[in-house]
Structures are given as structure tokens and as C-alpha cells.
Amino acid sequence: MNKTVIITGASRGIGRAAAVKFAGEGFNIVINSVSNTDKLNETEKLCLNANPSTQVLAVKGDISDSAFVKHLIDTSVNRFGSIDVLINNAGISFVGVIQDTDDETWQKIINTNLSSVHYFTRSVIPYMLKSGKGSIINISSVWGNVGASCEAAYAASKGGINAYTKSAAKELAPSGISVNAIACGLVDTDMNKCFSKEDLDVVCEEIPAGRPADPKEIAETIYHISQCPAYLTGQIITIDGGWT
């Protein structure tokens, strides 16, 4: 029986690259996006191109809604029988000073980036416990490690992911379930299109590798961590070209 991976925020960027990578490795794929059906369908086609025999379940819905998350998990298990890997990838950002971060913006970022990680982890645990194994990988950021001026809400959500990752890893290690996070540096995704080329060039000058990461490089990292022994757990693994 093929293994199954769930990937949130898979309509583009890191999530899409991860879906294609896991499809190529023979996994059943469950992908999610909050609203972009066309882009999600494009990801499904790319997965099938990578492996025509793979099975893909694409589900649109809001991951900050715990009831939807439970529905997605239950639907995935009913379809594929088990969940072997969970990738909590979906995330949004806001660039602005703290005094311009209103309540609605703050809550939306925390709910989407951090609360969803808890909802998915909580809902997937019973099924991973049943199989006695599993890998949960949370996509964090270097700003979760060191903080970021003008991105306090985003940095706080990612710092929360790091702490949640370590806590969940300690709780689940006796059950053979690993929980790790990947703290990404600058990645060439749509999230960074709010910055000008000049701004991005300045950042790249600070990165020893001299460039942003390709989403495929993050996807490769995600896949390899998912295949590591369960003894690798509770780690915040930074991939940033030597930046921080």
C-alpha cells in the first residue's frame, strides 16, 4: 500500500513543490488551498505528470477552521487508509510596523499560520498512533528564530510553530511519531512578490549563497526529513544559504 502525505497550502510555492516531489516518490497526495481552485488543480496535474499512478485528493477549505481540518483528515483516512506524513506548510504574512497591525490582521496570521498547525496535529495523532509511526513537518521561518522588523505577527506565528514543534516532539516521541520544523530563509515564492527587485537584491547580498532558495530545494529537504529515523525529532532545521 502506498504511503499518504497531507500538504497544506499546496496551490503554489513550497507546498506545490513538495506535492510534486512526494508524488514522484510514489505517495498518495492530499493537497489543500483555502480558495485558489485553479492553482490547486494545476498542482494536481503536476503530481500526475510526476507519477501517473499516484492518487491525488484536492480539498479546498479554510485550515484555520478546526471543523474543516478534522473533516479533511477523516476524508483522507477514509480514502487512503492512513496518514504517514503531515506537512503543515500553509502560511500568510503582513509587512508593516507593529502599530499598523490591526486586530483582524494579527488574528488572521496567528490562526492561519499557527492555530492550523495545532488543529492538523491534533486531528492526525489518533491515526498515527494507530499505525505506531508518522512524521509531522512544520514549515517555519528564520524570522521565527530571530524575529523580524516590520513582520512581528509573522515572526510570532513562526516562533510559536518552533515551540509547538519541540513540545509535540517530546509528547509524541514515545509513540514513534517524529515532529520537526524547517526554518526557511528567503525562498523564491509569491509571498515575497510584495518586495521590489531592489529590496530582494539587497537581501541576497547578505546571503552567503547569494540567492533565494528554489522551492524545489525546500521540497527535497522536507522529503528527506520525512524519511529519517524517528529518532530525529524536535529539531528546527534551518535552510537559508548560510544567512542567519
From the candidates 154, 164, 223, 231, give the one annotated as an active-site residue: 154
End-to-end CA distance of the chain: 41
Is 244 within the bounds of a domain? no
| Residue 107 counted as domain residue | yes
pLDDT at 136: 98
Does residue 195 register a pLDDT over 80? Answer: no
Indicate if the pLDDT at residue 10 is higher than 80.
yes
What pLDDT is recorded for position 193?
A: 74
- Has 154 been annotated as catalytic? yes
Which tens digits make up the pLDDT trace of 146-177?
A: 999 999 999 999 999 999 999 999 999 999 99
Query: For residue 164, is it within any domain?
Result: yes
Q: How confident is the model at residue 196 (pLDDT cuts 50, 70, 90)?
A: confident
Centroid of chain to Cα 183: 10
Provide the pLDDT for residue 190.
Answer: 79
Measured CA to CA, the distance from residue 64 to residue 110 in angstroms comes to 9
**Which CATH number is 153's domain given?**
3.40.50.720
CA dist 221 and 73 (Å) reads 24
Distance, C-alpha 190 to centroid of its chain: 15
Q: Give the model's confidence band at 192: pLDDT under 50 very low, under 70 low, under 90 confident, else very high.
A: confident
Q: Rounded mean pLDDT of the chain?
A: 96
pLDDT at 191: 77
Predicted pLDDT at 225: 98
Task: Quote the pLDDT of residue 32.
Answer: 95
Q: What is residue 200's predicted lDDT score, i.e. its pLDDT?
A: 87
Higher per-residue pLDDT: 56 or 196: 56
Domain-located, residue 151 = yes
Q: Which strands form 236-239's sheet, in the order they lie side by side?
A: 56-60, 28-33, 4-7, 85-88, 134-141, 177-184, 236-239
Are 139 and 63 within 8 A, CB to CB? Answer: no
Q: What is the domain range of residue 31?
A: 4-239
What letters, b where the CB count within 10 A reaches 16 and e where it falls short, cover 79-105?
Answer: ebebbbbbbbbbbbbbeeeeeebeeee
Tally of domains in the chain: 1
Q: What is the mean pLDDT of residues 116-137?
A: 98
Confidence of residue 78 (pLDDT cuts 50, 70, 90): very high
Answer yes or no: is 124 within a domain. yes
For the segment 125-129, the average pLDDT, to the nearest whole number, is: 98
